[in-house]
Amino acid sequence: MLNHSSQPDVLISEVGPRDGLQSVKATMSTADKFKWIDALVAAGVREIEVASFVPARLLPQMADAAEVVKYATRHPNVTVMALVPNLRGAQAALAAGAHKLTMPVSASRAHSLANVRKTPEDMVEEVRAIARLRDELAPAVKLEAGISTAFGCTLQGEVAEDDVIRLATLCVQAGANESGLSDTVGYANPAQVRRLFRRLRQELGEHAGAAHMHNTRGLGLANCLAAWDEGVRTFDSSLGGLGGCPYAPGASGNVVTEDLVFMFEAMGVRTGIDLAKIVAAREPLAVGLPGEALYGMTPDAGLPKGFAQQP
């Protein structure tokens, strides 16, 4: 039995209920979402991105966003996070009681226009407006600007590293508490991850945020380890590897939460997440999305003989 009272070494931020669900065609029922969130919390997950506040006509999977946020906030000691692409979404997320807002700010101009119909510069001003709203209504709420397509883009191709660091810096100057880097389309490699996160942390210090990696080309865990080596301590992942981006063709699959937890725990890096229980959390996910493919090497292979998770 894990001792969750001890401070873990890393924060695994589960993004499946948002990033995962908005990337599949089926719509999980609200009741099934509740059961999935309950199972994640029972496993020791301490931060969950539960919804995206976008028009239901665009993403019917997120039509119950306010209801899901309100339910999730009943769990003590869990940070409930919501994605907000604009000021209207932020107003709705704050009204629902979200503890943390995350904004997608794409370093690729082509992806930004396709995803939110705004330029990266427009999105910095959106960050500024949302930060002002947050300061006025709920100063305790954290605001994260995730720099998407930070490592390359299926629409634009190469994304200049200077553009990525400049955009992250502008977002923090505009009022974001932190800015992390997202490999939205799975282009990143470990050397690139080391280089960019080193620059980000030199530039932003304590305001440098999470690593959000995709496993599109099988390098998700390697890239997370590279980010860990550069001092990153918050990692986004998705149970069963669900996720992608509707506006980034071929961008399949977030890093699998179960595999990420196993990697760190096997290294002696405490996640605060019970491996057996996080694997068990796949059951309500499978029930809520019948027929949807779930990924993960650890759930399939099981734990090594004699492996014991340290308290």
DSSP 18: I
Q: Is the separation of the CB atoms in 214 and 181 below 8 Å?
A: no
Burial level of 169, CB count in 10 A (0-12/13-18/19+)?
A: middle
Angle at 198 between CA 128 and CA 119, to 5 degrees: 35
Cα→Cα distances 29→74, 110, 239, 290, Å: 19, 33, 17, 12
Tell me which residues are annotated as active site.
245
Residue 39: closest CA among 237, 309, 239 = 239
Under 8 Å between Cβ of 123 and 154:
no
H helix runs in 97-141, sequence order: 109-116, 120-137
